Amino acid sequence: MTEKLIRTGTSLLPDNERPPFSEPWEAQIFSLVLELHRQGAFSWNDWAARLSSEIAAAKQRGETDRG
């Protein structure tokens, strides 16, 4: 059990207690996405569809889903 805790880190926490981003760069990128959306560069639905498509493509390539 202890080994699993060490390997998984915060993954055992309930979703509402986990940090929203694993790394600082993830938060920075998301803030850029929010600002571009606010400026009208794309709709939120378009962004969500593109993100979903990229996640699906990564899964097909066998890349790890880091949440």
When pLDDT is cut at 50, 70 and 90, the band that residue 15 belongs to is low
The DSSP result for the chain, as a single string, is -HHHHHHHGGGGS-GGGS-S-SSHHHHHHHHHHHHHHHTTSS-HHHHHHHHHHHHHHHHHTT-----
Q: What is the pLDDT of residue 22?
A: 81
Look-up of token digits 């400026």: 39
- pTM score > 0.85 for this model? no
**Residue 54 · residue 47 · CB < 8 Å:** no
Residue 6 φ then ψ, to 5°: -65, -45
Q: What is the pLDDT of residue 65?
A: 73
